[in-house]
Structure 1
Amino acid sequence: MGVEIVVNDLSKSFGKQLIWGDVSLTIPAGEICVMLGPSGTGKSVFLKTLIGLLKPDKGSILIEGTDIASCSERDLYEIRKLFGVLFQDGAMFGSMNLYDNVAFPLREHTKKSESEVRAIVMEKMDLVGLLGAEDKLPGEISGGMRKRAGLARALVLDPEIVLFDEPDSGLDPVRTAFLNQLIIDLNAQIDATFLIVTHDVNTARTVPDNIGLLYHRHLAMFGPREQLLSSEEPVVRQFLNAQRVGPIGMSEEKDADELASEEGQELPPLPPIPLQQEPSNGIPRRSQRPPGEWCKEHGITPPPGSFETSNAGLAPGA
């Protein structure tokens, strides 16, 4: 089962440039979370900080009682064993075939025999649909296959936390849909804590249990999927529904003249909230909540047409 990540008052700067400040959120154990935000808002920096590759200026990141923002290198090394990471481009070693790429963490961090390594590698290759491709080099396969190979490598140490840095980057919509289904199925199977950084609004609307939005150097909102998809908060509404009207502009923030020109414009209605994507076997994940449960608990009337099968997986406005 996955583990909880508790982030308190986290801030990160590069020189005088504040990337984001005072970020606080709790990533629940075993759930799928998505972190969104316009380009340049520090989403990948947030992932690197969570795993200890970057040190925050202030704040804490508690994982199983250890604050990885201030712990020793030895303790950090141990905590990192809980993580698996899928990097944007797969981060494969170009001179190694897929088998050796996936086997690398096992050979580096364990004392398992080669027969044990082979059994684990083949299991993970099968899990991501790459059996039969283990002898291929990364340069000989498609971007989607490299993503899946990177995911197999992220899973070989049976992590309790899996981080995905823009897994849909460079993929066409069909491959993105297949990868999203794979993520759902993996979470159902291994029950680890998943955090996905993405720009893909359709992924955010259909895959996660929780959504976060980084904007203008702070965390605009973090909470259950239904909360954000029914939110009237201007930046959340604009981003999650891919609308032009709102505070986000081409250069992140619109200036006063742009915002003034939009005054009085009628916002389009919120699109229906789609059904959350389910595992292929149809059995709900442990963290999956019944459709509309959050809205009902909080007295929120969802947009008309929400949670209907015909809306599942549709892009905003479809």
Structure 2
Amino acid sequence: MGVDVKIDGLTKSFGKQLIWKDVTLTLPAGEISVMLGPSGTGKSVLLKTLIGLIKPDEGAVVIEGVDIATCSEKDLYEIRKLFGVLFQDGAMFGSMDLFDNVAFPLREHTKKGESEIRDIVMEKMDLVGLIGAENKLPGEISGGMRKRAGLARALVLDPEILLIDEPDSGLDPVRTAFINQLFIDLNAQIDATFLIVTHDINSTRTVPDNIGLLYHKHLAMFGPREMLLSSEEPVVRQFLNAQTIGPIGMSEEKDADELAAEKDMGLPPLPPIPMQLEPSNGIPRTYQRPPGAWCRENGVTPPPGSFQPDPTTPMSSSQANPTEAPH
């Protein structure tokens, strides 16, 4: 079962360069959250701050009552056992085969015997679809397989919080679709709290329960997926719908002349909100909400065509009746 992560007033600078200021949000226990933002907005810095690799200048990160920004090294070591981390490139040890890479945290942080370690490693490798590849070196497999191996390693200590940094980086659309489904299925099985940093808009629109957007050195918005996908806030609307009209330009912000010229053009309509991905077995996740629930509860009319099922995929009962009352 996952735990919530409370982030309060987080501020970080490197020298005179402010990365972000007064970031405040809570990652709900057991839910999947995605953090977006233009390149250079400090998304990876945020992940490193959450596990104590980087200390913030101000603010707190509270997990199970412990503020990892100010706690002792001993307490930080214990809190880190709650985390699993998937780095951008998988971060495999090149001289070790996949089995030893995945087994590394167990050998480093537990006193388990090799027989038990083997059982755990093979279970996690089966979970990510890598049975039969355990004796291969990282250099002998594809980028997608390295990411899955990195995910298996992140899972061996049965983490309650999973931090995932740009899982779609370098992957083709098919492999990205497979890894997105894997995240949904994993969350259904282990109920861990997920935070995924990504640039992939399609993944953001279909995978998470919650979405956050870092922009211009602050957190522009964080909340339920439907809230952000129906938002009229200019930065959120532009970024989540991959539109050129809005305050974001090639050099982060557009100048006044560009913005003035756009006023006469009018905003393009919001695209329909897609269905959220379902677990492969069709059984809703513990914290998954019925499609359209947030919009109904908050009196928001979603864009026309929202919550229409993909005709190529089977529907669950909640998908088949998206207008039913929320659970």
TM-score (norm 1): 0.97
Alpha-carbon deviation of 1:312?
9.2
Q: Is 1:219 the counterpart of 2:226 in the alignment?
A: no
Provide the rounded CA distance (Å) in 1 between the counterparts of 2:311 and 2:299.
22
- Equivalent residue for 1:145? 145
| Residues 105 and 157, structure 1, Cα contact 8 Å, conserved in 2 | yes
- Equivalent residue for 2:115? 115
Alpha-carbon deviation of 1:15?
0.3
- Equivalent residue for 2:288? 288
Aligned residue identity for 2:193:
T
Aligned residue identity for 1:147:
K
Write out aligned runs for 1:227-242 (5 A). 227-242=227-242
Three-state SS of the structure 1 residue aligned to 2:263 is coil
Q: Is 1:75 the counterpart of 2:75 in the alignment?
A: yes
- Equivalent residue for 1:316? none
Residue correspondences, number? 313
Provide the rounded CA distance (Å) in 2 between the counterparts of 1:309 and 1:266.
30
Write out aligned runs for 1:127-206 (5 A). 127-206=127-206
Provide the rounded CA distance (Å) in 2 between the counterparts of 1:211 and 1:275.
15
Write out aligned runs for 1:269-284 (5 A). 269-284=269-284
Three-state SS of the structure 2 residue aligned to 1:70 is coil
- Equivalent residue for 1:251? 251
Three-state SS of the structure 1 residue aligned to 2:35 is strand
- Equivalent residue for 1:22? 22
- Equivalent residue for 2:301? 301
Q: Is 1:46 the counterpart of 2:46 in the alignment?
A: yes
Provide the rounded CA distance (Å) in 2 between the counterparts of 1:312 and 1:69.
47
Three-state SS of the structure 2 residue aligned to 1:91 is coil
Alpha-carbon deviation of 1:124?
0.2
Provide the rounded CA distance (Å) in 2 between the counterparts of 1:40 and 1:251.
11
- Equivalent residue for 1:263? 263
1:41-70: CA deviation from partner (whole Å, max 9, x where unpaired):
000000000010000000000000000010
Three-state SS of the structure 1 residue aligned to 2:54 is coil
Provide the rounded CA distance (Å) in 2 between the counterparts of 1:244 and 1:269.
13
Provide the rounded CA distance (Å) in 2 between the counterparts of 1:52 and 1:265.
46
Provide the rounded CA distance (Å) in 2 between the counterparts of 1:292 and 1:59.
34
Regions of 4+ moved over 2 Å: 310-313
Alpha-carbon deviation of 1:255?
1.6
Aligned residue identity for 2:214:
L
TM-score (norm 2): 0.95
Alpha-carbon deviation of 1:311?
8.2
Provide the rounded CA distance (Å) in 1 between the counterparts of 2:240 and 2:52.
29
Provide the rounded CA distance (Å) in 1 between the counterparts of 2:303 and 2:51.
37
Three-state SS of the structure 2 residue aligned to 1:186 is helix
Identity of aligned residues (%): 82
Three-state SS of the structure 2 residue aligned to 1:262 is helix
Alpha-carbon deviation of 1:257?
2.0
Change (3 A) 1:24 1:96: same
Provide the rounded CA distance (Å) in 1 between the counterparts of 2:256 and 2:102.
51
Three-state SS of the structure 2 residue aligned to 1:52 is coil
Across the aligned residues of Structure 1 and Structure 2, the Cα RMSD in angstroms comes to: 1.0
Q: Is 1:105 the counterpart of 2:105 in the alignment?
A: yes
Three-state SS of the structure 2 residue aligned to 1:309 is coil
Three-state SS of the structure 2 residue aligned to 1:12 is strand
Aligned residue identity for 1:87:
F
Three-state SS of the structure 2 residue aligned to 1:136 is coil
Change (3 A) 1:312 1:46: farther
- Equivalent residue for 2:3? 3
Provide the rounded CA distance (Å) in 2 between the counterparts of 1:102 and 1:255.
49
| Residues 273 and 307, structure 1, Cα contact 8 Å, conserved in 2 | yes
- Equivalent residue for 1:59? 59
Alpha-carbon deviation of 1:196?
0.1
Three-state SS of the structure 2 residue aligned to 1:299 is coil
Aligned residue identity for 2:185:
D
| Residues 275 and 311, structure 1, Cα contact 8 Å, conserved in 2 | no
Alpha-carbon deviation of 1:310?
3.6
Could you list the runs of 5+ residues in structure 1 that have no partner in the other structure? 314-318
| Residues 206 and 312, structure 1, Cα contact 8 Å, conserved in 2 | no
